[in-house]
Each structure stands twice: as structure tokens, then as C-alpha cells.
Structure 1
Amino acid sequence: MRLTVLGSGTNVHPRRAAAGYLVETDQPFVIDFGPRTLSNLLKTGLDRHRLTHLLFSHFHADHFSDFITFYFDAVIHAKLVRPRPDLTLIGPRGSRRLFQTIIRTFPSFNDAPFRVRIQEVADETFTVGQTSITARTVRHTPRLHCLGYRLEHKGRSWAYSGDSQYCPALVSLCEGSDLAVLDCSYPANRPGPAHMHAGDCGRVAQESGAARLLLSHFYQVAERYDVKAQAGKHYRGRITKARDLLQIAW
């Protein structure tokens, strides 16, 4: 299993793309597709036209807006260069309405020479190839369904909070994971609404027994503090601060 961080920041960050992750098991998955993550995906060398499954945690712009550019490119490439496999979009409640609206809004999107399947999930486990995927509802903002994900393959596991506050569902999702990637929007001494701070991330990792913690999704205020040390007050395992294009294999 290998993770490549496509984006470790938010919508507008001077040094980081917004949220996005490439996870490679028996096949590649992109989880979230925020602004500027597509450019980083190209830098990985992965053939983007091999991608068949995209997962989305929720639909704030910093987690999905590069999908529009990706999809336009996929349609044009499949029409003019070579066929691509069908595409499955997986996300929380509202995914079908959002993606159908996007596809219908742009005339060139309507006649894609491949099939698009939209799958809404909530609090369930399913398989794609040899990879087990668990989607779990987490607490982010009111009236918006938000998911965390856990991917398991050949005894290895990766858990991702999406955007979340500290909540029991997230602790459960990360339980015993080899790597937990958590929303560290704020430093512990400057907490903000709707997201975790570094101390919260440490608590989730410690309580879940995750083997390793990767802090990500930084607001600019988090860059001014030692968030690793703040998380380390609560978690005794290995802590890494994410950066764009960081790769971790296990």
C-alpha cells in the first residue's frame, strides 16, 4: 500500500495544494480532489486515465473542485486519443445530485464515451477489487454529510478523517490502522470551528491505537506553530507533518 499526498492545505494556501490523496493498493484511488491537486497528480507519473474510482469526503470546494478539470480532460482524451475505462464516483449523500448537475451543465460533458457511475455511501463497508473500503459519517459542519474513509488491502490499512471534528466515529474508523491521516487545520493553542486542532489529532491517534499519524489539511495559522509537538502531547507514536507529494509506503 502506498500513499502520495496530492494536497495538504486548503483552498488558498501559498505553498500547499488543497486536500487530495492518491492511495495505491491493487489499483489506484484518488480520495478528494481539491484545487491544484490535479497538477500534483500529474507529477506522480501515474497515468490519470487509469483511474476508475474517485472517493470524496464531502463537498466543500477545497475537497472536490479539481474534479471538474479532471473530468473535462478525461472526456476529451477518450474522444480524441484513446478509450478509458468507466469511472465510479463515490461520496456522501448529495453526490448524485452534485455530479449529475456538473455533467449536465457543461455541454461537452454530456456525451462522454465511457460510463459514469455515482455511488452514495454512508456507514458501510464495500470492496473494489481486492481493496476493502469503509465509509463512516464524521462530524464536520451542520447539514452537510461528511465521510471519513478506511482502506484495507493485504492486511494493511489507511484511515482518513476528511474534514472532521473530534468524534467517536472517527476514533472507531482509525482503530488499529497502520496510518491515520487527520485534519489538523489549527494549532492546539489557536483552535477554530468545524475542524480538529493538533491536540485533537493526537487524541484520535492515541485512542484508536493507530500505528502512525500524518497531520494534514493545514490552515495557514497552523504553519506558525509546532503542531507535531502539540499532537505529541497526546500521542506516543510516530508523527509526520504532511507536505505535497510526500510518499509513504507500508
Structure 2
Amino acid sequence: MKLTFLGTGTGIPQARAQSGLIMEAEANGRKKPLLFDCGCGVLQRIYESGYDHRNIDTIFLTHLHLDHVSDVLGLIKANWLVGLAQAHIYGPAGTVEWFNKLMTLYPYLKDKLQVQITELTGGTVLSVADCTISTAHGCHSVTTIGYKVERAGRVAVYTGDTEPCDSLTELAQGAHVLVYECSFPLGYEVDNHTTPDMLAAHISQHSLHVDRLYLTHLYPHMRGHEQESIDHIRTVFPGEVHIAEDLMQVDV
């Protein structure tokens, strides 16, 4: 598997696009990009990454905040404009209601799209594109789920927005790559999100066995604090720690 970070930022404008990444799987001998979250700017990043939007018809949403879903309809419409009407969205409870309400604003699209939606809960296991995908609930201001993707013995996990929590730590155990939100720098007082000291404190109590950790969902507040964030987490985490960047690609 290959992972491409499309957007590593948040709802505040900066050089980073909002949340989104691709995990490249393989189905029937062909590469298949699975899109996880699709915030504002991600559609443009798909183009810049070299992926063809026409090949992206499977979207996994961690939760329904704008910085994770703003470009979903833009992507689906872009495909419709070139004659591709089908898409499958996986997401938390409420995804069907969210999409149906969105369609009421665009009645000219409503009967032209063939969008299947599957709502997931924590503990779901499904097979998509020759991958086994497992879920766990995170801890955020709205219902949110993290995803574990396994294929050919390789494992990647994406948390979405969350405070450190046992359910996602358990989901991530043994992963080769873990993509974890780290919104704010050391000492920042926040809930529903993660800071380096919050994550380090959690890891010190719950050992995390992961090869490589990539920090994403970075607010502008994190600018200039990247290395101290890495260094702090390394005091309790023996694996590699990296700051994710838009258009960064890593092998899983």
C-alpha cells in the first residue's frame, strides 16, 4: 500500500489544505485509491498529486465537520461532469441524513447521481478493494471513527479528529503506519483534539506498538513547534515520528 497526504491542515486557511488522504490499494490487479476525508482544497490536491479524480469513487469519512467533508460533493460532481455518476461513501451515523440534506440544495443533481452510503460504527469490519477495513470510535465533539486498513500483511491506521483514547490505541496496535491528529503545540489547553503532551501522556500509560507515526491536522498554531512536538513524543514512543505535509507519499 501507498499513502498520499492530500491535506494536513484544518478549518483555518494556511498553506496546508484541509483533511484528506489516499490509501492506494489494489483490486482485480488494478490500483485503486481509497479516499479518507475530503475537506476544502482536497479536490485540487488530488489533481496535484497525480491521481485521476475519475478513479476515486470510494470515500471514507471519519466525521462530518466541514474541514473533513467540504469537497465531497465537489469530487462527486467532477466525476459526474465526465460521465461517472457512481460513488460509495462510508461514514459515521448521520452520513445519510447529511448527504440527503445536501442534495436538497442541488436538485439538478439529485436524480443524476448514484451514491451509495454505508454508515459504520466502532467495531465494524468490512472488505473493500481486497483490503480488510476495521473501525473504532474516537473521542471528538461529534461522532467520529478511525480506520484500520490491512492488505497483504501491511497495516495503516488513520484516526481522524480525536483526543487520545483507548479504542484508537487498540485499533492501531501493530500498525506499520499510524496517522494521528496533533492539532496544537505543547501546553495548549484543548479538548476534542490532541496535543503532543496529551499524546505522550497517553502513550506512557498505554504502550503504542507502531512502526511509524505521522502527525496531521495541524493548526497554524503548530507552525514553528514541529520539532519540539516530535522530540516530546519520542521520549515515550520508540518508533519513528514525522510531521505530515501535503502531497507527502509514504509506503506502508
Partner of 1:212: 212
In structure 1, C-alpha distance between the alignment counterparts of 2:94 and 2:165, rounded to whole Å: 22
Alpha carbon RMSD of aligned pairs, Å?
Answer: 1.6
1:17-57 Cα deviation digits (max 9, x unpaired): 11100110112100000111111111122111111210000
CA shift for structure 1 position 104: 2.9
Partner of 1:36: 41
Counterpart contact for 1:170–1:204, Cα < 8 Å: no
In structure 2, C-alpha distance between the alignment counterparts of 1:190 and 1:30, rounded to whole Å: 30
Partner of 2:184: 186
In structure 1, C-alpha distance between the alignment counterparts of 2:248 and 2:33, rounded to whole Å: 16
In structure 2, relative to structure 1, the CA distance for the partners of 1:204 and 1:56 (3 Å cut) is farther
Matched, 1:60 2:75: no
Matched, 1:4 2:4: yes
Partner of 1:81: none
1:170-190 Cα deviation digits (max 9, x unpaired): 101111100000010011222
Partner of 2:29: none
CA shift for structure 1 position 69: 1.4
DSSP 3-state at the match of 1:230 = helix
CA shift for structure 1 position 204: 4.5
Matched, 1:168 2:166: yes
Counterpart contact for 2:76–2:87, Cα < 8 Å: no
Partner of 2:21: 21
In structure 2, C-alpha distance between the alignment counterparts of 1:75 and 1:11, rounded to whole Å: 27
In structure 1, C-alpha distance between the alignment counterparts of 2:77 and 2:25, rounded to whole Å: 26
Counterpart contact for 2:137–2:146, Cα < 8 Å: yes
- Identify the range of structure 1 (174-183 vs 11-20) with the bigger mean alpha-carbon deviation: 11-20
Counterpart contact for 1:55–1:90, Cα < 8 Å: yes
DSSP 3-state at the match of 1:25 = strand
Counterpart contact for 2:62–2:91, Cα < 8 Å: yes
In structure 1, C-alpha distance between the alignment counterparts of 2:108 and 2:77, rounded to whole Å: 8
Gaps of 5+ in 2: 27-31
In structure 2, relative to structure 1, the CA distance for the partners of 1:77 and 1:104 (3 Å cut) is farther
Q: Figure out how many residues of one structure are paired with residues of the other and give that number.
A: 242
1:216-247 Cα deviation digits (max 9, x unpaired): 11011112322111221221111111110000
Structure 2 length-normalised TM = 0.91
Counterpart contact for 1:13–1:219, Cα < 8 Å: no
1:199 to 190, 197, 206: 197
1:98-148 Cα deviation digits (max 9, x unpaired): 011112320221132x5210000012110013111111111111xx21111
1:148-178 Cα deviation digits (max 9, x unpaired): 1111111001101100001100101111100
In structure 2, C-alpha distance between the alignment counterparts of 1:193 and 1:220, rounded to whole Å: 17
- Identify the range of structure 1 (43-52 vs 33-42) with the bigger mean alpha-carbon deviation: 43-52
In structure 2, C-alpha distance between the alignment counterparts of 1:121 and 1:204, rounded to whole Å: 27
Structure 1 length-normalised TM = 0.92
1:245 to 244, 247, 250: 247
In structure 2, C-alpha distance between the alignment counterparts of 1:75 and 1:241, rounded to whole Å: 35
Counterpart contact for 1:199–1:233, Cα < 8 Å: no
1:158 to 156, 159, 164: 156
In structure 2, relative to structure 1, the CA distance for the partners of 1:86 and 1:204 (3 Å cut) is farther
DSSP 3-state at the match of 1:33 = coil
Counterpart contact for 2:8–2:246, Cα < 8 Å: yes
